[in-house]
Amino acid sequence: MMPVPPQNVVIVSLLLFGIGVLGVLTRRNAIIILMSIELMMNAANLNLVAFSRQHAHLTGQVFGVFTITVAAGEVAVGLAIVLALYRQFNSIHVDDVRLMKE
Amino acid sequence: MIRALWLIPLFPFAGFAVNGLLGPRVLPRKLVGPLACAAVALSFVVALGAVAGLGHLPESSAGLTVDHEAQRVTQTLFTWMPLGPGKDGRSVSVDWSYVLDPLSAVMLLVVTGVGLLIHLYSIGYMEHEDRSGYARFFAYLNLFMGMMLVLVLGGSLPVLFVGWEGVGLCSYLLIGFWYDRMFDEKSGMSVADAGRKAFLVNRIGDVGFILGTLLLLSALGTAQIQDILKGVPQLGAGMATAAALLLFVGVCGKSAQIPLYVWLPDAMAGPTPVSALIHAATMVTAGVYVLARMAGLYVASPTAMTVVAVTGGLTALVAATLGTAQTDIKKVLAYSTVSQLGYMVLAAGVGAFTAGVFHLMTHAFFKALLFLGAGSVIHALSGEQDIMKMGGLRTRLPWTHATFLIGTLAIAGVPPLAGFFSKDEILWSALSGRGGSLLLWLAGVVTAGLTAFYMTRLYMLTFAGPPRLTHEAEHHLHESPPVMLLPLILLAVGSVAVGFVGVPHFLGGAAVPNLFEHWLEPVMPAAVHAGAGAPLSEWAAMFVALLASGAGIAAGFAMYRGGPRPERATPAVRWVRAKYYIDELYDRAIVSPYRALCRFASAWDARIVDGAVNAVAFVTDLAGEMLRLAQTGYVRNYALGFFAGTILILYYVLR
């Protein structure tokens, strides 16, 4: 099997990251925003793993494991916030939450 | 009773407080007038006791300094303003002190005595006022009495000045008493305008007065009048002249002398008892009182004396000519007052301070009488003041007529009524006194003739001739109630009798001594008479003056026997009737430019100053509005900013 060239991996990662950013910026549903954030994080993971392989060094992969752990914690906190939002406003649309403006 | 000096101004103040606070709502209406009268009556009684006490003075004791030689009692109540060390290191302070000496005694009795009668009269005159107006009137009147007594008794210039300003305030309040009425339809002047005019013109004088006070205080380190007079020799001629002239500016304001006399005729907008009390008998004579009080200062400055004498003579003459053309009964009397005040100032200016104060006293009687008589006529005619619409009242108002006639004869200088003696002494002094001259004397004699003329005219048009009343006025015509007639009668008696206390030496000889001069001897610098050096003898001068008065009376009688004359409007007549256009001149030269300046200042404030402040606020506001746009409240907008920022930083770092 031919090794995937690193630049292809970086391009995929860039696409993933771009989709994530777009999702965060355009979607209103807090859960989708959370998911988009996950996408961006995984794009970073992909990069870490790809470069780990290119440099034949394990540090990148270890970093990837750490990132997944942090992402799990982040999702836990994020979902807790979404839950709190829902309880407070009866909605998980972030546009409904503009208390700082008013 | 000399120790009770401090009580004298206190009674009217108490009356003011009670009537002012409780009068409009709590006190029954019937109590308001008698209460005000009682306050003044108490002052009068205490004043009488205190003046009687001048005859057997006690020794000095705590708070009471007695000068036996000058018959002066100074009661120091407290230190008012401690001013710290002066030039020579001694501490300077202004005490609140009252002084009773023969001069302030005369004023004290005139003010409380005539004031009491006018208070009594007001009970009748103001009966148609509603309850709160009635109480307000008597409260103001009492406040005025209190302030006037502070003025008279004040032992230092600042204390005197408190009274001086206080009576000015009361004058303003009482001129504007009917503040919702129109005073002069023709010129569109409201009663409130008249009050303001009096207040503002007086203010010009007051600035001079306070500057004079401060000048003396800084030069001599004391404001106590007696100490100032003692220190006059140290002043130097220039300083004495400056201080005397500055004080004289104040005198011109208060005593309505040229060029500040314009407020007094318009002060007639006030109720008539006010005109009698404030603008004839008491307040306007305060200026003459100050001249007499500060006589020692004026005598030290021949320049100031000349200015005083010329101003007085000119005012007497000019105001008398104006009095001949007025058709408002009170305005004739107002110009007459200005003219008579001119006499008093003239007397002071030629060193005859005693004669000036004597005329002040006699004038207080007959002018108060004339004003109250005019008030009685106005009251009887339901408010009519135009003498062209009067006439024939002699039989309808017998008491008013009789007393008014006495007042007319007294002011016209018919012997032996009060006005004759005092006027004669002034005229003689104008001829032969310190700095007296034929010109000053002539001005006085012509004034005497004019006075007799316009008073006869006033009398004839009001009381003689065919009645020219409106049907309405005719219907309501009634003689005034006894409470108004009693003061008239008492003042008429005074106008006849009071002259005899000051019979000139050449008339009385040894048999009738000049009591008044003798009484003031301890405090007044003696009048200097040229005696033989005068162009005329005292007898001749008297006869010329009498001739002038007689001619005036005869002319007035002949011209107005048949009622008003169809007057030819020659330029001279029109000029006099327009009051020499002095009001218009002041309006053009001072009031209008000042108004323009005010408008400019107002515009400057509104446009430039406020504009700058508003511009700063506007810019701040605008910046806030712009920043507000960035704060949408949408999370994604913030996230976009965050993202864009990241990219910028990355670009910057990786470039």
Mean pLDDT throughout B371-394? 88
Which chain A residue has the Cα nearest residue B628? A101
Domains annotated for chain A, with CATH where assigned, are 6-96 (1.10.287.3510)
Write the pLDDT tens digit of every residue in B338-373.
999 999 999 999 988 999 999 999 999 999 999 999
The pLDDT value recorded for residue B529 is 64
Task: Enumerate the β-bridge partners of residue B85.
Answer: B91
B416: preceding bond cis by omega (within 30 degrees): yes
Dihedral sign from CA coordinates of B186, B192, B195, B201: negative
**pLDDT above 90 for B639:** no
Picking from B633, B636, B639, the nearest residue to A101 by CB comes out as B633
Inter-chain residue contact B639 with A25, CB threshold 8 Å: yes
pLDDT band with cut points at 50, 70 and 90 for residue A101: low
Is A87 at the interface with chain B, CB within 8 A? no
Inter-chain residue contact A102 with B633, CB threshold 8 Å: yes
Which of B417-421, B520-524, B563-567 shows the lowest per-residue confidence on average (mean pLDDT)? Answer: B563-567
The pLDDT value recorded for residue B184 is 80
Is A19 at the interface with chain B, CB within 8 A? no
Q: Phi, psi at residue B261, to the nearest 5°?
A: -80, -10
Write the pLDDT tens digit of every residue in B65-84.
888 888 889 999 989 988 88
Mean pLDDT throughout B181-208? 89
The pLDDT value recorded for residue B575 is 82
The pLDDT value recorded for residue B201 is 92
Written in H, E and C, the secondary structure of B125-149 is: HCCCCCHHHHHHHHHHHHHHHHHHH
Q: What is the pLDDT of chain B when averaged over all its residues?
A: 89
The tokens of B182 are what? 């129109």
- Who wins on pLDDT, B30 or B507? B30
- Residue holding tokens 């023709």? B186
Mean pLDDT throughout A59-81? 92
Q: Which class for B222: exposed (0-12), middle (13-18), buried (19 or more C-beta within 10 A)?
A: buried
Count CB-CB contacts under 10 A for residue B306. 16
Mean pLDDT throughout B265-271? 91
Inter-chain residue contact B635 with A100, CB threshold 8 Å: no
Inter-chain residue contact A100 with B631, CB threshold 8 Å: yes
Cα of A3 to nearest chain B Cα, Å:
29
**pLDDT above 90 for B649:** yes
Q: What is the ipTM of this complex?
A: 0.77
Cα of A59 to nearest chain B Cα, Å:
23
Q: Are A35 and A79 in contact (CB under 8 A)?
A: no
Inter-chain residue contact B635 with A94, CB threshold 8 Å: yes
d(CA B514, CA A78): 115
Is A85 at the interface with chain B, CB within 8 A? no
Q: Is B45 helix (H, G, I), strand (E, B) or coil?
A: helix
Using DSSP bridges, classify how beta strands B91-100 and B64-67 pair: parallel, antiparallel or unpaired. unpaired
Picking from B631, B632, B639, the nearest residue to A24 by CB comes out as B639
CA proximity to B488, closest of B419, B393, B403, B377: B403
* Chain B neighbors of A78, CB-CB under 8 A: none
pLDDT band with cut points at 50, 70 and 90 for residue B530: low
Cα of B628 to nearest chain A Cα, Å:
9
d(CA B281, CA B371): 10
**pLDDT above 70 for B100:** yes
Q: Are A23 and A36 in contact (CB under 8 A)?
A: yes
**pLDDT above 90 for B633:** no
Q: Is B376 helix (H, G, I), strand (E, B) or coil?
A: helix
Cα of A1 to nearest chain B Cα, Å:
35
d(CA B4, CA B12): 14
Q: Where is B420: in which H helix or E strand?
A: helix B418-432
Which of A40-44, B324-328, B464-468 shows the lowest per-residue confidence on average (mean pLDDT)? Answer: B464-468
Please state, for a pLDDT cut of 70, what percent of chain B lies above it. 98
Cα of B634 to nearest chain A Cα, Å:
6
Inter-chain residue contact B636 with A25, CB threshold 8 Å: yes
Inter-chain residue contact A25 with B640, CB threshold 8 Å: yes
The pLDDT value recorded for residue B644 is 92
**pLDDT above 70 for B1:** yes
pLDDT band with cut points at 50, 70 and 90 for residue B407: very high
Picking from A21, A98, A102, the nearest residue to B643 by CB comes out as A21
**pLDDT above 80 for A78:** yes
The pLDDT value recorded for residue B465 is 81
Write the pLDDT tens digit of every residue in A22-61.
998 888 888 999 999 999 999 999 999 989 988 888 998 9
**pLDDT above 70 for B528:** no
Inter-chain residue contact A26 with B633, CB threshold 8 Å: no
Inter-chain residue contact A94 with B634, CB threshold 8 Å: yes
d(CA B273, CA B372): 6
Q: Which class for A74: exposed (0-12), middle (13-18), buried (19 or more C-beta within 10 A)?
A: middle
The pLDDT value recorded for residue A5 is 85
d(CA B506, CA B511): 11
- Who wins on pLDDT, B554 or B416? B554
**pLDDT above 90 for B444:** yes
Q: Any long-range contacts for B519-522 (C-beta under 8 Å, 24+ apart)?
A: B519/B102, B519/B106, B520/B102, B520/B103, B520/B106, B520/B353, B520/B354, B520/B357, B521/B102, B522/B69, B522/B70, B522/B71, B522/B72, B522/B101, B522/B102
Torsion of CA B320, B322, B327, B330, to 10 degrees: -60
Write the pLDDT tens digit of every residue in B207-259.
999 999 999 998 888 889 998 998 888 888 889 999 999 999 999 999 999 88
**pLDDT above 90 for B88:** no
Is A21 at the interface with chain B, CB within 8 A? yes
Q: Are B444 and B316 in contact (CB under 8 A)?
A: yes
* Chain A neighbors of B635, CB-CB under 8 A: 33, 94, 97
**pLDDT above 90 for B521:** no
d(CA B25, CA B108): 33
Size of interface A-B (CB pairs under 8 A): 26
The tokens of B262 are what? 């314009």
Could you list the beta-strand ranges (E) of B393-543. Answer: none
pLDDT band with cut points at 50, 70 and 90 for residue B486: very high
Residue A65, amino acid:
V
Mean pLDDT throughout B451-472? 88
Which of A65-79, B155-169, B500-514 shows the lowest per-residue confidence on average (mean pLDDT)? Answer: B500-514
